[in-house]
Chains A and B, each alone.
Chain A
Amino acid sequence: MKNTATLRRWAVPAAIGAAVISVGVGATLVQAGDGESLPPKTAAQLLTDVQNARIDGLSGTVVTRASLGLPAGLTDGGGAQMSSLLSGSKTMRVWYGGPERIRGAILGTLGESDFIRNGADVWTWSSEENTATHTTLPADYADTAMWPPKAIAGEPITPDEAAESVLAAISGTTEVATDGTAEVAGRPAYELVLKPKDPASTIGEIRLAVDGETSLPLRTQIFGKGQTDAAFEIAFARVIFETPPDEHFTFTPPQGVEMTEMGEQDWNSGTKDEGQPKDDGTKTEGLEVIGEGWTAVVEFTSADIGKILSGEPVEGVEGENAPDVSALVESLPQVSGTWGSGRVFTSALVNALITDDGRILVGAVTTDKLVEVAGR
């Protein structure tokens, strides 16, 4: 009898623990499960709606998750820098008050990196570096909307024509389909699936969750071939479709902050802070895109690449900023082709080929394809 009595009492904490765990696990299950029933839509309709989505304003929280299988040394985990988006999970806050007023903030533990555009003024702010930059957009750009990007919006034609033309443009290379509904950030959404047809692509599929009401893509997931977990995912965790107040788009650099005025001209030449490796400058010169669409490969050629790989000092990349990758490169598997030999770096999504003659080829393609492109 005593055992029964004791068991009854212990049932209370056990029930509390079970309830908490099931609520916690249930929350993730609901996100993965079906949303409310939405009227069925074809892939073409969805594409049309995405292009015509016009959002007046929103504020929300965006979470990115990356499991690209990169070596730990290449990515840094804790901070709020842009490069930290490459690994693990990151949270961003976004505010959108029309095409000219945009703010994004990458959150770190007791740190934050902000990007604020208000008309012609573009600010960046890093709390960890205690630095801010200010760029004035040239007059022609000041009124230009940053969203939707021109590549998606294209020329104004009727919605149906737009959808047809997009479908026609991508149908040669891509399988487009819908796949039921999902719930993202508590909102029912359609799932649109894009699959590359080229077998050389490492991408299995790209899934877009399109908001049922506003047609804004609420979640984008990129799956490697044959993988059930997304290699990269960006999704709203919370979103409110209301225009945020003006104060969220104003920025005044606080006193004592290291302030860099970028001026007007610097807009196109990169906005890197001092002390960062000048990868923009060295790479854009010797950069070539080979092929197009899903299996495009980017080739970097620069004398500096050879130096960095062998651990020699490179001008502009000094001290602790200089990545010591020679040991990492030597641990990579070797491949060879008609063009010579090199080493391949593989991840869940993106593969790279580093040739001994100082070229780097990167693409979401199989290593065989990289070897083939290198000898082109």
Chain B
Amino acid sequence: MSAADTVSTVDGGADWAPRRRVGTRFLRSEMGLIARRRRNQAALAVLAAIPIIIAIVIAATRPAPGSGPPLFAAMLDNGLITVLAGLSIELGLFLPLAVSVLAGDAIAGEANTGTLRYLLTVPAGRVRLLAVKFGGVVVATFVTVGVVALTGGIMGIALFGTGDMVTLSGTTLPFGEALGRVALAVVYIVLCLVAVAAIGLFVSTLTEQPIGAAVAMLMFIILSQILGAFSDLDWLHPFLITNYWSAWGDLLRDPPAYDQMLLGLLSAGAWTAFGLSAAWARLTTKDITS
């Protein structure tokens, strides 16, 4: 270990705390905190209501095939499409918003209420704190997307049944295979949102205002979507965090196309690595005063 490293250890705070048994108590407590907050419960209820509303409106209006947004008319034949229609609508704004708020709150929320330094006086290193905060947001993201998918699935199957699913290529899939494809799409969407959680966590270490962190993160996502709409900027598109979010649609082709989704996983992995390492660099070097 070089001299500079030694200095950084002393200077950088308590991240070299004595090695302890890594338990799940800290993470469980964090998840409990997230789950018990009224605002989070209310947000989850609203997000879960959206696929239900979509399903009811489609069942009532029965749009002609080929009209309206893609997927909406296809829902009439197969309830599982409701899951995808709901998620694709919410992926535009609601889901990134929810993840941004949770991630923005993670560090800045503690700093804002003055509890961050107390958390660090407990012999919990900054790295461990960051890991637990990130783990909490990731689990919450999984739960949120899962709940939206589940309510959409239950409502869709109740209203539209489990008929064959028509792929974008014009072939039909039996229910079992359709279920597998939808499950893959759900997992893919979660992984895309994990990247939002990582970048959001980094933004959260920059400020003591949780709302500021969440708004900044959301603006970043909307900016990505706007830049993604300009075809003249196509050289930039692969680097945008939102670029591959709609690639799950390739699962609805026959045979499914995985190229874009694999790139999407690489992109999400890169953004996650960047966000987490930047959050680590920031949190372990900043002066915690509140």
Binding site for B on A (CB under 8 A): 1-2, 4-6, 8-10, 12-13, 16-17, 20-21, 24, 28, 61, 77, 87-89, 93, 105, 107, 109-112, 114, 125, 127-132, 237-238, 248, 251-258
Report whether B11 and A2 are in contact in the complex, using a CB–CB cutoff of 8 Å.
yes
Contact with A along B224-248 (1 / 0, CB 8 A): 0000000100110011000000100
CB of A129, distance to nearest CB on chain B (Å): 5
* Chain A binding surface, main DSSP class: mixed
Contact assessment for A20 and B274 in the assembled complex, using a CB-CB cutoff below 8 Å: yes
What residues on A are CB-neighbors of B280 within 8 Å?
A: 9, 12
CB distance from A263 to the nearest CB of B (A): 20
* Least CB distance, B245 to chain A, in whole angstroms: 11
How distant is B258 from chain A, measured CB to nearest CB, in Å?
Answer: 11
- Contact present for A114 and B70 (CB under 8 Å): no
Q: Are B274 and A13 in contact (CB under 8 A)?
A: yes
A-binding segment of B40-48, B163-171, B209-217: B163-171
- Please tell me if the beta carbons of B281 and A1 are within 8 angstroms of each other in the complex: no
CA distance in complex: A75, B77 (Å): 33
Tell me whether B113 is interfacial, beta carbon within 8 Å.
no
**Within 8 Å CB of B65, what residues of A?**
130, 256-258
Taking the closest CB of chain B, its distance from the CB of A113, in whole angstroms, is 10
B253 at the interface (CB under 8 A from A): yes
Cross-chain contact of A87 among B170, B231, B249, B259 (Cβ < 8 A): B231
B238 pairs with A24, CB closer than 8 A: yes
Q: Which B residues contact A (CB, under 8 angstroms)?
A: 4, 7-8, 11-12, 65-66, 70-71, 73, 77, 88, 164, 166, 168-172, 231, 234-235, 238-239, 246, 249-250, 252-253, 255, 257, 259, 270, 273-274, 277-278, 280-281, 284-285
| Interface contacts beyond A5-B4, A93-B257, A248-B255: sample of 16 additional A-B pairs, CB < 8 Å, sorted by A | A2-B11, A5-B12, A9-B280, A9-B285, A16-B277, A107-B257, A110-B249, A125-B170, A127-B170, A128-B66, A130-B65, A252-B171, A253-B170, A254-B166, A256-B65, A257-B65
Tell me the nearest residue of chain B to A95, going by C-beta.
Answer: B255
- Give Cα A130 to B73, complex, Å: 10
Contact across chains for B66 and A1 when beta carbons are under 8 A apart: no
User: In the complex where A88-B231, A256-B77 touch, is A16 in contact with B170 (Cβ < 8 A)?
Assistant: no
- State in angstroms the CA–CA spacing of A244 and B170 once bound together: 18
Do B66 and A131 touch across chains, with their CB atoms under 8 A apart? yes
Given contacts A12-B281, A110-B246, contact A251 B168 (CB under 8 A): no
Alpha-carbon separation in the docked complex, A237 to B235 (Å): 16
Contacts A12-B281, A131-B66, A258-B65 hold; do A21 and B246 have CB atoms under 8 A apart?
no
Q: Given A13-B281, A17-B274, A107-B257, are A5 and B168 neighbors across the interface (CB < 8 Å)?
A: no
* Residue ID in chain B nearest A116 by CB atoms: B170
User: Could you tell me the distance between the alpha carbons of A109 and B234 in the complex, rounded to whole angstroms?
Assistant: 16
A110 touches B168 (CB 8 A): yes
Give the shortest distance, in Å, between A59 (CB) and chain B (any CB).
9
| Minimum CB distance partner of A125 in chain B | B170
* A109 adjacent to B246 (CB under 8 Å): yes
With A5-B7, A125-B169 known to touch, is A24 a contact of B231 (CB < 8 Å)? no
Given known pairs A5-B4, A89-B234, A109-B246, the reply for A251 and B274 (CB within 8 Å) is no
Q: Which residues of B contact A251 (CB under 8 A)?
A: 170-171
Is there contact, CB below 8 Å, between A110 and B238?
A: no
- B246 and A1 contact, CB distance less than 8 A: no
